[in-house]
């Protein structure tokens, strides 16, 4: 029986951000002169709009609304608006149970991030806070899967995650109002990271990514953020980009001011792989983040060491994390190399992976319906 949906290829969808990066994304896209600029993110299979300061030139250059992804169906090279493609037949892409619970939306947002500088200190609301106070269906619990680290990084790679030495609310207010960055940074320890690590950052937990990390970010589908550091990379945030058009006092309610010592990070934020099933005689799949970690999304990784056939009944976003090979679905064969990305619809039917000689796939899914 022929499939009722086709494989989606995912061309680059670079998004303007307030920080600098993107050189490695340029390199992956084959740019003749890769450079770091204000387009350090690639939003993947997204129907979420980016919240950016207004810029009519930048917005006019976007293929669709900022943040919404182009997709190519099967072997057709014509880019389509993913939101439109999904709305036309949502059950084909995410399955009937997903649509019954969440409607015709992915309910997950995936990005490639490539910062050349440390990101702003920031914090995101939980879903409960967003629903109660921001009239938004989703907060922004997020996860990071480290894909690569720049060779020319002058220091060990790291991220900040939670306050190891939390300030009082009054002290935090003062630090933010005066932009006392030394005092803010003193609240954190640098958490070392390695390629292959996965961390979850619950809503409310203050954090910042260090420079030089190429990573997949998987999150709730929103662009809600409180940036409590106002200048990075020579760019000063306008008022509208700091506190979600709310006041500082309102945003202080978002912060988790409990301590996050190293042992808590390793127990609650670091997500080691757990073997869940065999895919073939020498191929297998691990869970990185399941429902026991968060109800917001799921992440797994497949290790393919010989040709396999799959028939999935849930739609997911796939990113090649290592190796190469081909993916064949119906009459479409897609060459795969590191950091390529694609979308497997729920109604795709059988599809095949041919590793060359091995292949690793990061698979990003919405919450279980």
Class of domain 8-269: mainly beta
Q: For residue 169, what are its two tokens?
A: 């609310």
Res 3: pLDDT: 56
- The CATH code that applies to domain 274-365 is 2.60.120.10
Res 266: pLDDT: 96
Res 4: pLDDT: 72
Res 59: pLDDT: 62
Do residues 115 and 19 make contact, with C-beta atoms less than 8 angstroms apart?
yes
Backbone angles phi, psi at 185, to 5 degrees: -65, -30
Do residues 136 and 130 make contact, with C-beta atoms less than 8 angstroms apart?
yes
Low-confidence ranges of the chain (pLDDT < 50): 1-2
CA 158, 162, 167 angle in degrees (round to 5)? Answer: 125
CA 327, 331, 333 angle in degrees (round to 5)? Answer: 25
Res 1: pLDDT: 35
pTM summary value:
0.95
CA distances in angstroms from 41 to 14, 16, 23, 215, listed in the order given: 6, 7, 10, 10
Residues recorded for the chain: 369
Strand 14-15 and strand 41-44: pairing?
Answer: antiparallel
Res 55: pLDDT: 74
Same fold, 8-269 and 274-365: yes
Which region holds residue 74: left if phi is over 0, alpha if psi is between -120 and 50, else beta? left
> Domain segments of the chain: what residues?
8-269, 274-365
The DSSP H or E segment spanning 171 is helix 169-178
């Amino acid at each position: 029986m022929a499939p009722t949906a086709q494989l989606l290829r995912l061309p680059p969808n670079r998004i303007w951000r307030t920080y600098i990066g993107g050189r490695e994304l340029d390199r992956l896209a084959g740019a003749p002169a890769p450079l770091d600029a204000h387009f350090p993110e690639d939003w993947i299979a997204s129907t979420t709009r980016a919240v950016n300061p207004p810029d009519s030139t930048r917005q006019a250059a976007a293929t669709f609304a900022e943040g919404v992804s182009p997709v190519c169906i099967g072997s057709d090279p014509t880019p389509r608006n993913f939101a439109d493609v999904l709305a036309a037949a949502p059950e084909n892409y995410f399955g009937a149970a997903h649509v019954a619970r969440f409607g015709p939306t992915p309910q997950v947002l995936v990005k490639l991030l490539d910062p050349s500088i440390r990101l702003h200190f920031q914090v995101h609301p939980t879903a409960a806070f967003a629903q109660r106070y921001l009239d938004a269906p989703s907060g922004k619990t997020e996860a990071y899967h480290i894909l690569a680290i720049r060779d020319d990084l002058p220091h060990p790679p790291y991220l900040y995650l939670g306050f190891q030495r939390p300030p009082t609310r009054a002290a935090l207010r003062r630090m933010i109002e005066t932009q006392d960055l030394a005092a803010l940074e003193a609240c954190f320890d640098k958490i070392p990271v390695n390629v292959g690590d996965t961390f979850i950052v619950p809503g409310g937990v203050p954090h910042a990514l260090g420079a030089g990390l190429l990573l997949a970010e998987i999150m709730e589908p929103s662009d809600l953020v409180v940036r409590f550091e106002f200048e990075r990379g020579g760019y000063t945030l306008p008022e509208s980009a700091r506190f979600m058009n709310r006041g500082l006092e309102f945003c202080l309610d978002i912060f988790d001011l409990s301590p996050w010592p190293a042992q808590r990070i390793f127990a609650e934020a670091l997500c080691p792989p757990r073997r869940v099933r065999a895919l073939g005689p020498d191929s297998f799949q691990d869970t990185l983040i399941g429902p026991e970690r968060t109800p917001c999304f799921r992440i797994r990784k497949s290790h393919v060491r010989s040709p396999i056939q799959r028939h999935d009944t849930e739609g997911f976003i796939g990113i090649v994390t290592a190796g190469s090979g081909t993916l064949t679905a119906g009459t479409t064969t897609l060459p795969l190399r590191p950091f390529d990305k694609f979308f497997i619809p729920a109604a795709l039917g059988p599809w095949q992976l041919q590793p060359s000689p091995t292949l690793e796939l990061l698979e990003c899914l919405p919450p279980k319906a």
